[in-house]
Amino acid sequence: MSTDTRFSQPNFHAVKVIGHRNPDTDSICSAIAYTRLKNALDPDRSYKPCRAGQPNRETQFVLNYFQVDLPQLYTDVSPQMRDVDIRLAEGVDGEMSLRRAWMRMRDQNLDTLCVVDGERTLKGLITVKDVATANMDGADPDVLSRAETSYQNVIDTIGGEVLAGDPAGRTVQGSIIIGAGSAEIMERAIKKGDIVIVSNRSESQLTAIEMEAGCIVVGTGAKVSKTIRMLAEENDCLIIRTPLNTYATSQIITQAAPIRYYMLRDGLITFDLNTSVESAKRIMGSVRHRYFPILDDDGKYLGVVSRRNLLNLHKKQLILVDHNEKSQAAEGLEEAEVLEIIDHHRIGTLETENPVYFRNMPVGCTCTIVYQMYLENDVPIDAQTAGLMLSAILSDTLMFRSPTCTPLDERAARRLAAIAGVDLEAYSDSMFEHGGDISDETAEQIFDTDYKVFASGKLQFGVGQGSYMNEKHRRAAEALLGPYLEIARQKQGLDFVFYLFTDVRGMSSDLLMAGADAEGIIARGFQVEVRDGMASLPGVVSRKKQFVPALIETFKRELS
């Protein structure tokens, strides 16, 4: 890993192709299919399919059937740490010496090093302040032994050469002693295992060996006699020669201590790639660190960021599919950059900072538009992608029964079925059957399966819809949702909430409702009788083309 590389791994700054909240089959399948088209047309840029919510059972069946992975979840597209320039500073081994740590900080213009193990798990961090503090405490003669410092670190720190003994696997076991003065003074000072720094005086060297020193450090590059070296070998005493003089050696030898001894272990402030930039700013402002570790999606150390990095923010770049209203988009949309919109709904309230490519067609499904774009650009459609687009069209058009269905939708679906190699009728029945199965689901899960919020003037209302192929599933859903609608309305602060139980084969819907005078509004607007909070709407199967437009017209009349 480069130690001074900006964060540029694939898919972190990829353009995200994303559908609406509470995604249906079209929302997810159009995101996947359009991503594949964009990657084929624009190979120099990376595009990634995403979702803004959990898939329903129908969609999960489709993905499983065609063996496609579920897109990554983004319920919030406001800036995260993955959207800033992360410095890919390589993690260091905790056995690194203080001196090596300082040299790396100096050479790479860093004031923080992150200590990791062989699996890139963050173990701690050390700052230039910690190094400076350690050096100020350099007079401590026992620090190397307490830190269990390897002799390899000692050799590296003083630029030493081994003349006797094997340092491999050995650590310092005693104090640091300056071997000056008479033999008698040295005998009283030296203990077993000590490091003794001596000059070229053979008497001092011999005394150190006799007192069972663990290591003799000979300064100024002085020669050491064969006899002394032989005696050192026999007594398991290392001899290290350094070009430094005795004073310089004594000043820097404590810098051989491993950084794990000084590093901060507890209370580490880290961020992961999903941490919001706003949250990171608040935390950074409360401490004096300059650099902060970043962990990847697997919790492994990746690099560091500073407050300055947050200034160079890359907004998430989005392509919206199957929606164009802010109320239906992922949270934080105003902090992202919308590049394109591909949709088949009415033009809503979404505003963009810059001009965007906006393709909106009055067809029954977004995937029908995406299919047309494949044809227009002469991009081949593989069987898997064809199956996804087919499933979306069947779902949105209720197998061509919805009034939103156009000849273009049906023609596209039949051609896609041929490419995917599926029997259109049999596959459609199986897909709807799996989608209507609500076993083990809560009222909230059923309600959120296909749910959107709309606005009419100052009124805000939500409309959910479920398509059911058998009466058993439909009755079970009604029993759960009946008491839940008012809870959902209050929870979301809406004026009204409606839910359509759509009979695909019977071409009709039953409607549940919640809100002040909701029953009267539905009765007057649709000229139907409401009984026990439920209204039957013959011929109404489309939320987009039949129910919502009629409801908005009713609101306008009621409020005028």
Annotate 129-165 with DSSP letters as a single string: HHHHHHHHTTT-TTHHHHTT-BHHHHHHHTT-EEEES
pLDDT for 100 beyond 90: yes
- Cβ neighbours of 287 (radius 10 Å): 10
Q: What CATH number is attached to the domain comprising 284? A: 3.10.580.10
Q: Measured between alpha carbons, how far is 266 from 443 in angstroms, rounded to an integer?
A: 43
Quote the tokens at residue 209: 């060996």
Phi/psi at 11 (5° precision): 75, -5
Q: Measured between alpha carbons, how far is 455 from 496 in angstroms, rounded to an integer?
A: 10
Is 143 a domain residue? no
- Tens-digit pLDDT profile for residues 76-98: 999 999 888 888 888 999 999 99
Domain boundary among the residues 394, 419, 435 is at 435
Query: Reduced to 3 states, what is the DSSP secondary structure of residue 204?
Result: helix
Mean pLDDT of the chain: 90
* HSE toward the beta carbon, residue 471, CA cutoff 13 A: 1
Q: Which residues, in sequence order, are CB contacts of 59 under 8 Å at separation 6+?
A: 23, 24, 25, 28, 29, 435
Is 9 a domain residue? no
Higher-scoring residue by pLDDT: 51, 328: 51
546 and 448 within one domain = yes
pLDDT of residue 350: 80
pLDDT of residue 7: 39
Is 119 a domain residue? yes
Instruction: Name the DSSP letter for residue 127.
Output: E
**DSSP conformation letters of 418-471:** HHHT--HHHHHHHHHHHHH--TT--HHHHHHTTEEEEEETTEEEEEEEEEESSH
541 and 460 within one domain = yes
99 and 69 within one domain = no
What per-residue string of b and e applies to 354-375 under the rule 16 or more CB within 10 Å gives b? eeeeeeeeebbbbbbbbbebbe
Looking at the DSSP bridge assignments, the partners of residue 331 are 76
With residue 404 as reference, give the H or E element that holds it. none
pLDDT for 9 beyond 60: no
pLDDT for 188 beyond 90: no
Helix axes 57-65, 424-436, angle to 10 degrees: 140
Nearest to 196 by CA among 235, 169, 147, 226: 235
Q: Measured between alpha carbons, how far is 198 from 178 in angstroms, rounded to an integer?
A: 6
Quote the tokens at residue 279: 């949250």
Share of the chain above pLDDT 70, in %: 97
280 and 203 within one domain = no
Q: Measured between alpha carbons, how far is 18 from 35 in angstroms, rounded to an integer?
A: 9
pLDDT for 465 beyond 60: yes
Q: Are 240 and 155 in contact (CB under 8 A)?
A: yes
Q: What is the C-alpha radius of gyration for the chain, rounded to an integer number of angstroms? A: 36
Total domain count for the chain? Answer: 4
Q: Are 309 and 84 in contact (CB under 8 A)?
A: yes
- Tens-digit pLDDT profile for residues 246-257: 999 999 999 999
Is 202 a domain residue? yes
Cα angle: 76, vertex 326, 27; to 5 degrees? 70
459 and 374 within one domain = no
Nearest to 258 by CA among 111, 100, 149: 149
Q: Which of the residue ranges 42-46, 131-135, 282-286, 470-474 would you say has the lowest mean pLDDT?
A: 470-474
553 and 454 within one domain = yes
Q: Which of the residue ranges 151-155, 177-181, 423-427 would you say has the lowest mean pLDDT?
A: 177-181
552 and 447 within one domain = yes
How, if at all, do strands 508-514 and 72-73 pair?
unpaired
pLDDT tier for residue 4 given thresholds of 50, 70 and 90: very low
pLDDT for 5 beyond 60: no
pLDDT for 273 beyond 60: yes
Q: Which residues, in sequence order, are CB contacts of 20 under 8 Å at separation 6+?
A: 27, 52, 53, 322, 323, 328, 329, 452
Q: What CATH number is attached to the domain comprising 45? A: 3.90.1640.10
Q: Measured between alpha carbons, how far is 79 from 489 in angstroms, rounded to an integer?
A: 30
Looking at the DSSP bridge assignments, the partners of residue 338 are 318
The percent of the chain in helix, strand and coil, each rounded to the nearest 5, is 40, 20, 40
pLDDT of residue 138: 64
pLDDT of residue 2: 36
Range of the domain at 115: 84-123+261-311
- Tens-digit pLDDT profile for residues 351-403: 888 899 999 999 999 999 999 999 999 999 999 999 999 999 999 998 998 88
Nearest to 396 by CA among 421, 370, 422: 370
Quote the tokens at residue 480: 């759960």
Q: Are 34 and 377 in contact (CB under 8 A)?
A: no
Is 133 a domain residue? no
298 and 215 within one domain = no
Average pLDDT over residues 514-528: 93
- Cβ neighbours of 95 (radius 10 Å): 16
- Tens-digit pLDDT profile for residues 326-348: 888 999 999 999 999 999 998 87
**In whole angstroms, how far apart are CA 58 and each of 27, 28, 318, 434, 439?**
12, 11, 25, 6, 13
Q: Are 256 and 280 in contact (CB under 8 A)?
A: no
Is 267 a domain residue? yes
Nearest to 416 by CA among 392, 400, 437, 438: 392
Q: Are 456 and 557 in contact (CB under 8 A)?
A: no
Q: What CATH number is attached to the domain comprising 238? A: 3.40.1390.20
pTM (predicted TM-score): 0.65
Is 145 a domain residue? no
pLDDT of residue 6: 39
